[in-house]
Amino acid sequence: MANIQEIARLAGVSTATISRVINGHPHVSESTRKKVIELIEQLDYVPNGNAISLKKGATCLIGIVAVAFNPLLIRFMQAFTQSAEKHGFNITLFITNGQAEKELVALEMLKRKQLDAIVCVLRSNEWNVIESYTKYGPIVTWQRLENSNIPSVFMDQYEAYCTGLEHLYSKGYRKILSIYPMPNGLNTKERMRAHSDFVLKYGIPAEKFPVFQGKTLVRDGEELARWWISQINRPDAVFCANDEVAAGFITVIRRLGFSVPGDVGIIGFDNTEVAHLLDLTTIHYPVDQQAENAFTIIQNMIDTTTKELIPLNYTLVERQST
Amino acid sequence: MANIQEIARLAGVSTATISRVINGHPHVSESTRKKVIELIEQLDYVPNGNAISLKKGATCLIGIVAVAFNPLLIRFMQAFTQSAEKHGFNITLFITNGQAEKELVALEMLKRKQLDAIVCVLRSNEWNVIESYTKYGPIVTWQRLENSNIPSVFMDQYEAYCTGLEHLYSKGYRKILSIYPMPNGLNTKERMRAHSDFVLKYGIPAEKFPVFQGKTLVRDGEELARWWISQINRPDAVFCANDEVAAGFITVIRRLGFSVPGDVGIIGFDNTEVAHLLDLTTIHYPVDQQAENAFTIIQNMIDTTTKELIPLNYTLVERQST
DNA sequence: TTGTACGCGTTATCAG
DNA sequence: CTGATAACGCGTACAA
C-alpha cells in the first residue's frame, strides 16, 4: 500500500507538500496540487488513520457503554450517533451484560488513547472506579449519581409525575392507581414520592389498592386489565409505568367492551411510538435531547468550548385516553 | 502522560527492556522486571494504543454495518461481539438507515487501517462498490449475493420452508395458507417456490386465498386473525412469516374462543423468545452460529488459518400449535 | 540478559 | 511556494 513518502517521491516533491494538499492547506501552487492529486488517485492512496491518530492524539471514536439493549437505549444511541457523526465521530459499542470487566475494557481504551470519550449509559462498575478514569478523557452518563463530578444528563421524574397526576385530577379522576417500574429503582422512588405528596395535597381518601411494581411490559398491562375488570371497587384512572404497560392495558380493556376515558382514564410514560398509535396520553421524555446534550458536553470538554445545552423538559402529551 | 521512554529513563534501562516486560517476553532478569513493573504502576503507565496500532498495522477493531436495528440483528450482533471479544476484538457500529455514505465511512476506515475487518450485515451500497474494498481487509456479509467473492453466512430458506410444510401435511393439514415477509425479498421468493412445489408434489387442489405479503409484525398477525375468522372457507393451517405474526394470530384466535391446533394449525419462523412463550411450532434459525461463523471467516482471513465453520441447519421445533 | 537504532506514516515547525 | 526534519510512542532486528 502506498504511503505519503511514495507519493512524494513520485511527484518529485516533499512529504510536507503532499500533506498540505491532502489537508487542503494553502500555499501550494496550482500546478503541483494538480499533479499530486492525480498521483494520489492513480495510486489509490489514503492516509493511514493510525499514524494520524498517533500524531494528533485523538481517534474521533467515542465509546458507548451500556448493560443491555432496550428500546429507549436504542433511541438514545441513535440520537447520540447522529450528533457525533455530524462532527466526524464514530461510535464503538460495549454491551456489558452487567460484567464489570467489559466496562473496564472501554475505560482502558480511553486511557490508551484509542477512545476520545465515553458515554456510560448504564454503568456496571462502582462510580468511584469510573471516576478514576475521568482524567484520561471525558466521561458522561445517563444515570443519576451523587458525590461525583461525572457530568450526567439524568432527569428527575418527580415533577413530571406530579404533572401527570395534576392532569388526571383536573379531568375529574379521584381514584388513581399508580403502576411503578422496577422496584428499588430511583425512578420508582421519585414517582412514589410524587404520588403520596399528591394524595396529601388534595386530601384524597386512601384506597385499598395493591402496590404494583416492576411492571414494564405489554404483558403486564394486559394482566393489569384483567385485574381491573375483576375488581368491584375499581380505580377510575391508571398511571402506567410506561407506554408499553398502558398499551397492554388499554387494548384489553377496550376489547372487552369498556370505554376509555369514560370507565377509566389511562396515562403512560415516555411518549414512544405505541402511545402515538393508540392515542394515549403520556409524558414526553426527551431522550433525543439528552443524547444531544451528552455529545455537547463531550464536545465542550474536548474543545474547551461552552456550547449551550438544550433545556430538558418533560411535557404532558394530552390525547384521547384521559 | 508518561511514555515508554520516561519509564526507561527512570528505571535506568532501555525502552527495549520495558517493552519486553510489558509484553511478557522472556530474557529479562527477575530483578529488573520487578523494578520496571513497580515503576509502571507508580507512574500509572499504559502503552499508547495508537502507536501500537501504527506499528502492528492492526487495531483489533471490527466494524458492523447494518441498515437498522431489529431483534434478529441484535441477536446477531451480540453473538458476533461475544466471539470477537474472546479474541480481543472490539466492535464499532455503523447504522446506516439506508444511507450509502454512512456505509462508505466504514469502508473508508477499513482502507485507512482503522478497522481490521467489516461485517456488512445488511448492505446499503451496491455489491460491486463493497467488493472494491475487499482488497483492504476481510468483508463478510449476512445477505446472499451473486457473482461476488465476498464471503457470506447467508442461508437459503427453501429447504427449511419445505420441512415446515411437510410437517403440516403429516399432521393432516391440507388447506395451508402461507404468509410471506417482505415482497421482492429473496426469502419471500424462496418460500413461494417451496410452497408451489409442495402443492404440486401432493396434488393439493388450489384454494382461492389472497396472497399475504409484507406481514412481519404482531399487529399483522392480529389482523390476519380477524380476516381468518371472517371467512367461510378457512385455511386449516397458517404458515406465518415469522414468530411475531404467529404470536399475534394465535393470541387473537384463542381469545375469541377458537382452538389451536384443533380449528387451525399455526407455525412460525425464527424460533424467537415469543415462540417459546406461546408454545408455537416454528423453524429454528441459527443466527448465533451464523455470527460465530462470520467471525471465524474473518479470523481465518486475518491469520490465514482454516478453522472449521459450524454447519448451519434449520430445524423444526415442534410445539403445541400444530 | 541488555542496549542501539531504525521503521511504522503523519503532521507541523522553521528555515529558505 | 517548498523542503528538511523533529516529533508522536512503540516494537524488534541485530549487535553486544
User: A58-155+288-305, superfamily in CATH?
Assistant: Response regulator (3.40.50.2300)
> What topology does CATH give the domain A4-47?
434 Repressor (Amino-terminal Domain) (1.10.260)
DSSP class of residue B170? Answer: H
From residues 7-26 of B, list those within 7 angstroms of strand C by Cβ: 12-17, 20, 26
Identity of residue A58: A
Among the partner residues A49, A57, A78, nearest to B109 by beta-carbon distance = A49
**Following DSSP, what letter does each residue of A230-266 receive, concatenated?**
H-SS--SEEE-SSHHHHHHHHHHHHHTT--TTTT-EE
Q: Which of A274, A71, A280, A73 is nearest to A164 (CA)?
A: A280
CA dihedral B2, B3, B4, B7 (to 10 degrees): -20
DSSP class of residue A280? Answer: -
pTM: 0.83
Parts of chain A belonging to CATH 3.40.50.2300:
58-155+288-305, 157-284
Say whether B93 and A91 touch across the interface (CB within 8 A): yes
Considering only CA atoms, give the Rg of chain B: 27
CA distance A173 to A236: 6
B8 SS3 class: helix
Considering only CA atoms, give the Rg of chain A: 27
pLDDT (tens digit, 0 to 9) for every residue of chain A, 322 residues total?
789 999 999 999 999 999 999 999 988 999 999 999 999 999 999 999 999 999 999 999 999 999 988 778 888 999 999 999 999 999 999 999 999 999 999 999 999 999 999 999 999 999 999 999 999 999 999 988 876 789 999 999 999 999 999 999 999 999 999 999 999 888 899 999 999 999 999 999 988 899 999 999 989 999 999 999 999 999 999 999 999 999 999 989 998 999 999 999 999 999 987 898 889 999 998 999 999 999 999 999 999 999 999 999 999 999 999 9
Q: B252: which strand partners?
A: none
Q: Does the bond joining A261 to the residue before it have cis omega, within 30 degrees of 0?
A: yes
Whether CB of A16 is under 7 Å from strand C: the answer is yes
Alpha helices by DSSP H, listed for B43-131, are 49-56, 71-86, 100-111, 127-131
- Would you state the cell numbers that stand for residue A114, as one nine-digit string? 484509542
Q: A66: which strand partners?
A: A95
**Following DSSP, what letter does each residue of A138-156 receive, concatenated?**
-EEESS--SS----B----
Strand-strand pairing, A61-66 and A176-178: unpaired
Q: Are A282 and A240 in contact (CB under 8 A)?
A: no
Please state which architecture CATH assigns to domain A157-284.
3-Layer(aba) Sandwich (3.40)
Among the partner residues A50, A91, A95, nearest to B92 by beta-carbon distance = A91
DSSP class of residue B243? Answer: H
Q: Are B117 and B63 in contact (CB under 8 A)?
A: yes
Residue–nucleotide distance: A109 CA to D11 C1' (Å): 20
Nearest CA in chain A to B63: A92
Q: Are B310 and B289 in contact (CB under 8 A)?
A: yes
- Would you state the cell numbers that stand for residue B225, as one nine-digit string? 386473525
Q: What tens digit of pLDDT does each residue of B43-97 get?
A: 999 999 999 999 999 999 999 999 988 878 888 999 999 999 999 999 999 999 9
CB burial of residue A6 (10 Å; 0-12, 13-18, 19+): middle
Parts of chain B belonging to CATH 1.10.260.40:
4-47
